[in-house]
Structures are given as structure tokens and as C-alpha cells.
Amino acid sequence: MLSPRNLLFKSKISKRKHTRKPKITNKKQKFESKNQEAVLAKPPPQLSGEDEEHDGVAGEGDDGNFNLKGSAPSHSHGVQPLGNLYVSSSSINSRDTGLGNLQSLTDELILEVLGLLSGTDLGVLSTVSKSFYVFCNHEPLWRNIVLETCKDGFLYKGSWRNTFVSAYRYSFDIAGSGIKVRDFYSDYLFQSWLCANLEMKPEWLERDNIVRKKGISIEEFVLDFEEPNKPVLLEGCLDSWPAMEKWDREYLIEVCRDALFSVGPVEMKLEDYFMYSDQVKEERPLYLFDPKFADKVPQLGLDYEVPEYFNEDLFGVLGNERPDYRWIIIGPAGSGSSFHIDPNSTSAWNAVIRGSKKWVLFPPDVVPPGVLPSPDGAEVACPVSIIEWFMNFYNSTKSWKKRPIECVCKAGEVIFVPNGWWHLVFNLEDSVAITQNFVSRRNLLNVLDFLKRPNARTLVSGTRDRVNLHDKFKNAIEASLPGTLDELRRKAEEKRQQQKKLSFWESVTDSKVGAFKFSF
């Protein structure tokens, strides 16, 4: 058999989709069996060992060779890409023989069905055959179960399956995992492992076409970037932040103590989150993304200040009723945010305190390849992981007329993300950042238009009162800043009229020779 160690992986990577919704409703699952730990620890009958490893895989995607991380483990259960079957000395795919009549279902559909089961049921089903053993030990299944059952946090134990068992019986000695199954071929399962262990290719990082500025005036920022709605990377803005010197891991753990932070759908102590992030090797690592961090730990809010370019934030007129607007963001290398547009049509700034982040941004009129927003904007379907997007779609942007804005934002730097821009963020190393969304005069009318859309109930985020936010915000602006809205509307109308005049003269002038032409 050809080992994946020597395989040149040329299979076309399937393009899986993950749908982002404004609110996720989690199904409820409970621990159902007092004997489940014994079931989960029991391997399937007559499993054969296999010594082949994936840690030397080199491959080729749509845009060239790729390599695995040096620390990448082999696939726990010996799953190989389907292309290996065609060069194997055996024509048997144990994936099919172990599924019986279910073999005609796609891997994705099988996992969807298994996702309806409890941990106990998955453990029982994993003993039925080698094939079910592999499917039932697919880590994302156990991750979902842990996140749905451990709302108060969890202690990560090297794998999600082990974490589930230890949450029920902490002292239980879990049997060694990673039993190899011979001749199991699946592109879908292999790709999940591949995306978790793939290195970022150098060409994915080399493009840096964002405008960089240092020490510019507020007027220059407004005129050159905020008014024309263009991204910019600002240097030197964080030099006076205490966080730049203080926010190492030891300090954060000490100052945060027992405070619980939002990590996906659960709440965790920071020390427990670091325990997870140090061990995890998965396709989509959990992100610590908490909007109430300064309320939970006031010292964190004192360790930074808003850069002067973003001091005007008109949502502040709402006081405590304003939508969520600031977050502490902590994540391991490989974590990040897939393509999205920031909430409520706001603009944002993101300051990196530790680590570095890869940014890819598309203007509002350009939907990134592989991203499928619903007509009303309430949902966005995109590749399951950021690495998968780079593998399948990044190369195609090189030939686009409107190419994305890209950069690597390092510690001490701030990126301005204008309203409406699609953006993807990928942590190249363990990272800590602060981000805030804001509304200035340059964006106020856009935000008000967004808040009064007919489907505002599904689009507006960060507040309980989605329906009435528009009226509350408008009334507060008129009370706090009388005449501001009228002045902004007047200027917007003047700008529209000016654009109409320009478009008329362009219609009767040949731009190449500067002469009039009769086009009417």
C-alpha cells in the first residue's frame, strides 16, 4: 500500500459550506447513562493496527504545493484521502464495508445524522464496526456535544471525546485513543484533519497592499480613509497603552482570576481557556470573544484607550442601551473569523496587543469567492474553515479586477475596517487583541438606514431591543446633537447632485480625446 507519507495529494478538495447565522439555537443533550464511560472507552471488535502516518504528507492544491506543520500528528484513525484507494494493493474501502446499506450516503450526511445522537449513543454505535468507530470518533461531533452540555465551561483533556468523558467522571481512566483502521478512505474526513494541520503557504502571506500610515492627523485620516470608506493600517497608536507591556499570559490570568469569558456558546475562566488553546489541534479552534470584558474585569478596560482617530462614537448617546461594541479577542494560532461584515453597518478598529493576524478584505460591492450571502443578508454560507477558503478560493482572486486588500497586522498596529467591507482574519500565532465598533458622523446615516430595514429584527445584533433601536438612536441623536441629522442629509444630497452632474458630462464627453460626442 502507498503510504500517505509519500503521497502527492492531488485530489480536488471538496468545498464544504458552513452557514453563519446571527443567532445559533443549540439543541439540548444530557448525559444519559451511568455506564457511558465504559462504553466510550471500548474499542470496536477486531480492529487492526496500522503504522502509516500522515505527518510527512506533501500535496498540491489549486495553486501549488502545500506542507503540514512540523508538529502535526498523524490522523488518529488512519483515514486516508480517497485517491490512495486507486493505488492501493487492495480494492477494499473499509468505510463502505462497515456501513452496510448506509454506504451510499455521503460522509457529510452520515455525520449530520450522527450529530443528532447523544454521547452515550455515539459510544455504543462506535462498537458496531470499524467504519462506525471512525465516524463516531469524528472530533467535531464530540465538540458539539461538549459545548451543548457544558455551558459553565470545560477542562480540555487532549480531545473532545476525552473532555466529554472526564466532565461526567473526572477520575475515569480513558483507554488510549487513536486506534488505526486499515484501508479507510474518505476525502471529507481526511480534509478535516488536513485543514487542522496545514501550514499557511508563503504566497498566502506575501501580499501586503494596504496603505500604512504613522503619525497622521485626524483630519488626514478622515479625508483620506474614513470619508472615502477605505481601510488603513495605523502604526504607533498603541505606544502609550499599558496593555502593550502588561498583557502577557501570567498577568491576564492573575488579573482575571475567576471571571468567566464568552468562548463560543460557553463561559470559561481564562486559565481554562489557555489550557484548551495550548492543546487543541482542530480545524476551527474556539475563539475567546467577549463583549463584557471591561465590566467583568475593570482593570482590562483601564489598560488601553481608544486611539484618537476613533474618539467620536455616536452610539454613546444611548448609554447602557447601546449595542455591544467592544471585545477582547484571544485565540491560538489557526483560530480566526471567516468572512463577515461587521454588525449594524458600523465601522471598526482592531488593535493587536500580542501575536499577529492575517487580514483579507473585500469592498462592499464585491462578495468574496466561495461566500454566499442570503438575499436579505441574515445568513452567510462560507467554507467550513479559513484554511479551506485559502486552499480553494484564494488563488482565484489574483486575476480579479478588484483584488482584495491584504496585510499582516502585528503587535502594536491598528487596522481600520470601514463599514460594509467583507473581511477574514486568521491568527498566525497565539494572539490577543482589542476591537471596537463605532459610529461617527461619516457613517451615521448609513447606520440609521440599516437599523430601519424591514428585517431589522434578524439583522440588528448586540442588543435585546432590535426592533426599536432605530427610533431610540435617532431620538437620542436629535436630543444630544440637534441639527446634526439635517446637516448630514443636506451634505449627502449635495454630494448626490454633484455625482449626477459628473455622470451627465461623462455621458456627452469622450474621455479619451476630450471632445464632445452626440449621444442623444
One domain for residues 439 and 346? yes
One domain for residues 185 and 208? no
One domain for residues 133 and 256? no
pLDDT one-digit tens code per residue, 101-131: 999 999 999 999 999 999 999 999 999 999 9
One domain for residues 251 and 362? yes
Asked whether the beta carbons of 434 and 243 are under 8 A apart, the reply is yes
Q: In sequence order, what DSSP letters do the residues of 360-419 get, joined into one string?
A: EEE-TT-PPTT-EE-TTSS-EEEESSHHHHHHHTGGGGGG-SSPPEEEEEETTEEEEE-T
pLDDT at 8 over 80: no
**Residue-number span of the structural domain to which 308 is assigned:** 202-480
Cell of 375: 438575499
Q: What CATH code is carried by the domain that includes residue 475?
A: 2.60.120.650
One domain for residues 191 and 209? no
Length of the chain: 520
The rounded distance, in Å, linking the Cα atoms of 480 and 465 is 21
Chosen domain end from 197, 222, 252:
197
328-332, 409-413, 459-463: least confidently modelled range = 459-463
| Number of domains comprising the chain | 2
One domain for residues 172 and 217? no
Average pLDDT over residues 382-405: 90
- CB burial class (10 A; 0-12, 13-18, 19+) of residue 253? middle
The rounded distance, in Å, linking the Cα atoms of 259 and 253 is 10
One domain for residues 316 and 356? yes
What is the widest separation between alpha-carbon atoms in the chain? 87
Average pLDDT over residues 146-171: 88
One domain for residues 144 and 241? no
- CB burial class (10 A; 0-12, 13-18, 19+) of residue 272? middle
47 within some domain: no
pLDDT at 71: 63
pLDDT one-digit tens code per residue, 263-282: 999 999 999 999 999 999 89
- pTM comes to 0.84
One domain for residues 239 and 331? yes
What is the rounded average pLDDT for all residues in the chain?
84
Beta bridge partners of 432: 330, 354
One domain for residues 180 and 91? yes
Q: In one letter, which amino acid is 412?
A: G
Tell me which residue of 469, 470, 367, 461 sits closest to 24, measured CA to CA: 461
Sorting pLDDT into bands at 50, 70 and 90, what band is 172? low
The rounded distance, in Å, linking the Cα atoms of 493 and 122 is 62
